[in-house]
Amino acid sequence: MKIGFVGLGIMGRPMALNLLRAGHELTVWARRPAALPPLLEAGARAAHDLAALAQGQDMVISMVADAPDVAAVMQTMASAAEPGLVAVDMSTIAPAAAREIHGDLQAKGIDFIDAPVSGGEPGAIAGSLSIMAGGSAQAFAHALPAFAAMGQSIVHVGGPGAGQVAKAANQVVTGMGVVAVAEAFNFAQQNGVDPARVREALLGGFAFSKILENHGQRMIARNFTPGFKSWMHAKDLHIVMQTAHELQVGLPGAAVAEQLFAAALAQGLGEADSVAVLQVLEQLSGGRP
């Protein structure tokens, strides 16, 4: 497939490389020219501007920072695109923002899919991302070969915005999961019990989760290298709470998780992995014993 790709950051670069490896014809554009060479060396072409990126493509993909970026990028590309283009955004933004972009592009004959991902940089490199897609069945089918090059678990969740709703749900479950494991380990430590033994005991029962296995191991090793940075989890949970506020949905557990990640930022742990929320909980208990 002929694919235009914009956003060659920590996530976007390995995702674009996997599209090339799978044999797609890739054209790229990046705000920072320094991001281009690794992709050009791997066989991608560079578009001279963002409007040109959208011309003659089967689909375009964006992987950028936030909703205003997505909206701006999509608007510029839409001005140059032929009707029938499928546009996919894989950034994490609010469901309402995704639905608005969907409406704008639909009016220009462009079918839009919100397809945020989970799995972080390791998943992007390995092509094992979890991809949660919202949009029409036709557009999803069209985009599926590209998704297959980047992800392992690929689910068409529902209509416009449904991918972002699933991603928000994902951030609630993983955010509260990291906090739960951190609280459990801190509780054990403060009781004079080795968290490593507690983790082993819990892995064998209903408490099993990938968070307990993976993030739990990193908490025990006190390895706070990202991974997925605290400020990013705080940002994602802020989107969730904003959406919950607009729809009057009560999320008391997610609210606590959001506040604890916000506290991690306040304590200078924003660039650390989200497992650093353990240090916030230790401070709540007067320090690590």
- Name the catalytic one among 167, 210, 229, 235: 167
In the DSSP assignment, the letter for residue 47 is P
Distance CA 123, CA 108 (A): 34
Residues 6 or more apart whose Cβ sits within 8 Å of residue 84: 109, 110, 111
Residues 136-155 interacting with its own copies (rule: CB under 8 A): 152-153, 155
Work out which of 18, 57, 62, 186 binds its own copies, going by CB under 8 A: 186
Q: DSSP string covering 128-189, please?
A: -EEEEEES-HHHHHHHHHHHHHHEEEEEEEESTTHHHHHHHHHHHHHHHHHHHHHHHHHHHH
Work out which of 143, 168, 220, 264 binds its own copies, going by CB under 8 A: 168
Nearest approach in angstroms of CB 102 to its own copies is: 14
Nearest approach in angstroms of CB 216 to its own copies is: 9
Nearest approach in angstroms of CB 105 to its own copies is: 20
Pick between residue 138 and residue 285 the one whose CB is nearest to its own copies. Answer: 285
Residues 34-73 interacting with its own copies (rule: CB under 8 A): none
Distance CA 66, CA 43 (A): 28
Cβ pair 92, 64 in contact under 8 A: no
Work out which of 16, 44, 211, 275 binds its own copies, going by CB under 8 A: 211
Should residue 15 be labelled a site residue for its own copies when binding is judged by CB under 8 A?
Answer: no
Pick between residue 77 and residue 94 the one whose CB is nearest to its own copies. Answer: 94
Pick between residue 47 and residue 114 the one whose CB is nearest to its own copies. Answer: 114
> Catalytic: 167?
yes
Q: What separation, in Å, do the N-terminal and C-terminal C-alpha atoms of the chain show? A: 57
What is the H or E stretch that residue 86 is in?
strand 86-89
Which residues are marked as active site? 167
